[in-house]
Structure 1
Amino acid sequence: MPQSLIKSAPLRCPKDFNLAQHMLEGGGAAPDTVAVEVLSTNGVTRWTRAELNRAILGFAAAVQDRGLPPGARVILRLGDTIGFPLAFFGTIAAGYVPVPVSAMLTDVELAPMLRGLAPALVLADQGLSVPDLGVPIMRDDIVEVAQAFAPLPAPTQSAADDLAYILFTSGSGGRAKAVRHAHRAGWARKMMWDGWYGLTPRDRVLHAGAFNWSYTLGTGLTDPVAAGATALLLEGDRSPVRILAALRQSRATIFAAVPGVYRKILALGALPNLPDLRHGLSAGEALPPTLRAEWQRRLGIDIHEALGMTEVSTFLSSSPTHPAPEGTQGFAQPGRTLAVLDDDGIPCPRGTPGLLAIGRDDPGLMLGYDDVSLADDPWFVTSDLVEMREDGAFCYHGRRDDVMTAQGYRVSPTEVEAVLERHSTVTEAAVCEVEVRPGLRLIAAFIRGNVTSTELSEHCTTHLARYKWPRHFQRVDDLPRGATGKLLRRALPALYDPDRSLP
């Protein structure tokens, strides 16, 4: 049996590389082509590449005018408007380090996250509070500021390995971590253009998420603009009804979202024809096979899933030219080196679960967390349990910390959830281990849908080994999710109530 190892020649980034310049070049597209379309409730505003570039460099000049030291960190407490890309890439062009944070977090949540970063400036929208960090706060209209300053002639020079920006992880593991990314991370994203999106300069890409998240920032903004395509920026209301209308009216060709958004759109009932939409993209959490199949059945459009993390972005995926076989997440993107490692750090035989690892020379790999640099090791080992099939496709079994134990066997929560969601009356399912009394733990399933425990047990009989069956089924109105829509597994045990077991 061959090893679970895919070794590729890495996509070498030029030694001198600047992420902002990469964006400004726009894949060589003409200056008068549309880089960003802002879809607001008041209509559509189009930004050509020339207009966007001028505003980014104008904002860079404005930030430099404040006299910050080189490499200063700038907090971005901004909403999802055109001001975000101007501030984010303008800050990089000025030679500083932007740190976007969620507009949904409270000051109490933000303060401990940000104080350790030692920022020099905060850019904040009117109406968004900012914890006391002892630094100036700039609340001016970003578009007006960008237009008021003469633009820099070019972004500040940088090396590929220089620090470009900092993003926070979602915190689904319990604590949000500050991830330091180099300029080369923008170059590395080119592996996704073919390996996941099938992106062309003719595409119009709409993402349903917030820009402070690496998935949205990359897939919904950086990549389409850098590739010469058009990014569709949805301002304001992001309800399923609004998103669906925007997809149709904007003639989007690629749509990106988390699985929950796809599920909510399907729940609307009858859906309009979307003749321009080529395919959807999904990341952030596992895409249930039943959800993908239902989207395909009702719209005739596939969803291509990717597996990734803030520390590297995505690295394995389905794609239009290489769709993921059913029950898998896809294949290693061309240019990536991936392995599935055993407990001794050795690649497993194919078909054997282990920890997913990314080659240390991947240009998209972070510089490190803010307080920890990467170890000098050939692999960056994740906490994701996967197995590689003989055909090279990867199957995701959840995070190592999420894996359950039943009768001495290890059980993947995603496997059990996928089976439960195949039942015709189950809308959504999540499972975890719960402690029912000291020393006794069992698998509990939390269900959205109109179903009985007898029906679910009968369903499990034909799809799961007995030791994998949930011993407690409980109906819930909603599952706990974070700001990015990810399932908060650590919050599931608190839902357990023995008196609310399904009949």
Structure 2
Amino acid sequence: MGNITESYKTFAKSSPNKIAIRTNHQQISYQKWYELINQTANWLHSLHSENKTIGILLPNGIPFLQLFAGASKAGWIAVPYDMKWNITELEKKVQLSNPSIIVTTREIFSQIKKRIPNVMILDDLLQEIPQFDSTTLRKAEANLPFYIGFTSGTTGNPKAFVRSQDSWVASFDCNRFDFGLDESDHVLICGALIHSHFLYGAISTLYLGGTVFLLEKFSPIEGLAWIHSFRITTIYVVPTMLEAFLKEGNQMDRAIKIISSGAKWSEKSKLNIRNIFPNMAMYEFYGASELSFITVLSDKKGIQKATTVGKPCYGVEVQIRQPNQELAKPNETGKIYVRSKLVIDGYFDQDGRTIYSFQDDEGWATVHDMGYLDEDGFLYIVGRENNMILYGGINIFPEEIEKVISLHPNVEEVAVIGLSDLYWGQIVAAVVKGKCNPLELKRFCKTHLSSYKIPRKWFFLSEMPYTTSGKIARAELIKRMESKVTNH
């Protein structure tokens, strides 16, 4: 199919002076971007590495995208690492992904050089790379693996997955057909490039010939200022960022597309955000790191189908299967299976050398989410099999309870978890951010839920812990709350 950088040459010829990427301190035209990616690829070729894997441990900026795209052009694999990981977490991920080199800042280099091998300083490379040829390039093989990512890991043990060029090139069609994006778009990337939602947003925009506006760190004030100043047409966000925009309260009358992922966007938040962006088109998609886009819901359809996650994206098939693998009927809950060209090649085993697929013989795959399709083909998520609470032999999906509790006007955020119990096996517990008390929340739940689904324990936090992808870190919450219960 091709390479995620293959369109750069076209835009360098047709729109050489058009801005490809803009940050707070820097901007680069498509002509310069095309040349820089060629130079970066030729620099990587000069290293004569057998492993051909580069680790990227950098903040948001042009160099992050340069190394990622340059690696892809050279037929290398790029592995983004999170700067928020501690040294032990980083060591685990490095061992799993086995990079030939890791590029980082001078400051981080001094902190990790004794424990992490093959680390190079970005400033040194930025001096070296411009010396390489910016036009001629050795052709890389087609459809090579190009990206290693890590799942959030509900168990606390993330897995490394590997993705091929074709899977992202195919998914760029979703941008065109599902979100209506093209080369005229000015796209604001609000979050860290370590999160695949934001990295994909930037790389797909460059492939389509649009302009990427990259925040170095998320700031609602700066984000709104950029939207206003640079006539942004599209923003990539997670729901927590929208909440931050809401608190600023400045209205933007211009038409804008909002592409959200990472967690289900609450109805209350959707209504409130329209006060800030009255002329917005909202797109929230349901997906997974391993499966990429699965379904998409626009706000037009979302009005009639408020609790759905939408219909399958372009080129994606969805099935619901019963435990015996038979297809479920409409409105019948089962496990969600997906088939598309967007699915990862597979996971690395623990030695970081062998890739094993998670698709069946016919190409279907699952991340063990449970849900159902209605008679119109809209998908509804019931919950994740891994999150399921087993209370005295009854299966309870925390997502159902979270939806109810989040409707309470004083609840800002909620996570429902299962805590160990000698008699019941597990009991339902709610962790809440907001100004309310257990009694009023219990009464509220009674009007919407069966009694056995009402949380038995209630905890209140001023801030929730999050994974790097902006989701609530359930594994960490369970650990914290279990220790609270034990210590009492």
Q: Does 1:397 pair with 2:382? A: yes
> CA separation in 2, counterparts of 1:380 and 1:100?
25
Query: Is the Cα contact below 8 Å between 1:263 and 1:291 reproduced in 2?
Result: yes
Q: Does 1:309 pair with 2:288? A: yes
Q: Does 1:124 pair with 2:124? A: no
1:229 is aligned to 210
1:464 is aligned to 449
Q: Does 1:164 pair with 2:180? A: no
Deviates more, 1:226-235 or 1:23-32: 23-32
Q: How does 1:328-367 map to 2 (within 5 A)?
A: 328-359=308-339, 362-367=340-345
* Aligned partner letter, 1:164: F
Q: Where do 5+ consecutive residues of structure 1 fail to align?
A: 1-13
Q: 1:293 aligns with which of 264, 271, 277?
A: 271
Q: 1:438 to 1:192 in 2, by over 3 A?
A: same
> CA separation in 1, counterparts of 2:206 and 2:151?
24
> CA separation in 1, counterparts of 2:191 and 2:393?
40
Q: Does 1:216 pair with 2:195? A: no
Q: 1:405 to 1:293 in 2, by over 3 A?
A: farther
Deviates more, 1:302-311 or 1:84-93: 302-311
Q: 2:459 aligns with which of 471, 474, 484?
A: 474
1:377 is aligned to 361
Q: Does 1:174 pair with 2:152? A: no
Q: 1:102 aligns with which of 82, 90, 98?
A: 82
Deviation at residue 83 of structure 1 after TM alignment: 0.3
Deviation at residue 86 of structure 1 after TM alignment: 0.9
1:20 is aligned to 5
Q: 1:425 aligns with which of 396, 410, 417?
A: 410
> CA separation in 2, counterparts of 1:334 and 1:245?
33
* Aligned partner letter, 2:344: M
> CA separation in 2, counterparts of 1:273 and 1:189?
32
1:447 is aligned to 432
Q: Does 1:72 pair with 2:57? A: no
Query: Is the Cα contact below 8 Å between 1:474 and 1:500 reproduced in 2?
Result: no
Q: How does 1:242-281 map to 2 (within 5 A)?
A: 242-268=222-248, 271-281=249-259
> CA separation in 1, counterparts of 2:238 and 2:420?
30
Q: Where do 5+ consecutive residues of structure 2 fail to align?
A: 350-354
Deviation at residue 95 of structure 1 after TM alignment: 2.5
> CA separation in 2, counterparts of 1:62 and 1:476?
49
Query: Is the Cα contact below 8 Å between 1:167 and 1:179 reproduced in 2?
Result: yes
Q: Does 1:55 pair with 2:36? A: yes
Query: Is the Cα contact below 8 Å between 1:56 and 1:146 reproduced in 2?
Result: no
User: Is the partner of 2:15 in helix, strand or coil?
Assistant: coil
Query: Is the Cα contact below 8 Å between 2:53 and 2:99 reproduced in 1?
Result: yes
Query: Is the Cα contact below 8 Å between 1:61 and 1:149 reproduced in 2?
Result: yes
User: Is the partner of 1:20 in helix, strand or coil?
Assistant: coil
Deviation at residue 255 of structure 1 after TM alignment: 1.3
Deviates more, 1:140-149 or 1:47-56: 140-149
* Aligned partner letter, 2:130: Q
Identity of aligned residues (%): 22
Cα offsets for 1:313-332 (capped at 9, x unmatched): 22211136754721111110
Deviation at residue 33 of structure 1 after TM alignment: 2.1
1:89 is aligned to 69
Deviates more, 1:134-143 or 1:457-466: 134-143
Q: 1:282 aligns with which of 260, 268, 279?
A: 260
